[in-house]
Amino acid sequence: MPNVTATPAGQSDGSTITTFTDTVSKDPITWTYPETQDKIQIRNSGAEPIKITAGSETFTVEVNETATKEVNFTEFTGQTVNQDSAYTNQIDVVATIIPKTGAADSVPWSGITGKPSTFPPKVGTGATDAKAGNWLPKIAEVSDATTVGKALMGATDAAAARATLGTVAATTATAGIVKQAAAQANSAATDVAGLVANFNTLLTNLRAAGHIAP
């Protein structure tokens, strides 16, 4: 069985074509491919019809005619239809690997040749792009932050942050933020004048901290 693998002819559609010529007589002859083919084209240049069997297909090629079959095969056999013929027919055989269409075959990663060792991502600012190492996201781009959280991150100072939270200085009409009053020791006064002095000190501290109006 001759091996018909040959250097592929360049095709605009990317298909691989192997062409060879051999003779067919009343005795069958078989040609074998090392890999599965998808299409066979037979040209009968002889003086008798010939019978071709390729894969699941068996067909006859008349004299000076060409037959094309799309069928999976790794080998095909040819012989003259008339087994008593004294003629020897010459045929031109064109076997074509047709590029697959539809779903891709399942191929292990290790079986893919010519693949790059790394796959650099597309670096940019788009939603699906990888971000550069020095990329600083804008506050609006923090997807899981609330509106209040984004406003706090963008506050220019403490007063702006308090305004965002709705907190202001306390007044007699509005609750707000006050400071801790200064520490004051327990009174040790022994008369009214001492108690008055201690009480006035407490009031001074409360006013300074914002607990009572000045």
Residue 5: predicted pLDDT: 44
Residue 85: predicted pLDDT: 66
The tens digit of pLDDT for each residue in 84-140 reads 766 666 666 555 555 444 445 567 777 777 777 777 778 887 777 888 878 887 888
List, in order, residues 6 or more apart from 105 with CB less than 8 Å away: none
Residue 52: predicted pLDDT: 92
Residue 13: predicted pLDDT: 40
Neighbouring C-alpha atoms within 13 Å toward the C-beta of 97: 19
Domains, in order of start, for the chain: 16-97 (2.60.120.10), 147-209 (no CATH)
List, in order, residues 6 or more apart from 210 with CB less than 8 Å away: 169, 170, 176, 177, 178, 179
Q: What is the mean pLDDT of the chain?
A: 76
Residue 30: predicted pLDDT: 84
Contact 170, 212 (CB under 8 A): no
Cβ neighbour number for residue 166 with a 10 Å cutoff: 8
The tens digit of pLDDT for each residue in 5-43 reads 444 443 334 345 567 777 777 888 888 777 777 888 888
Between residues 144 and 19, the one the model is more confident about: 144
Neighbouring C-alpha atoms within 13 Å toward the C-beta of 105: 6
Between residues 91 and 156, the one the model is more confident about: 156
Q: Model pTM?
A: 0.40
Q: At 72, list the tokens.
A: 């999976």
Residue 62: predicted pLDDT: 92
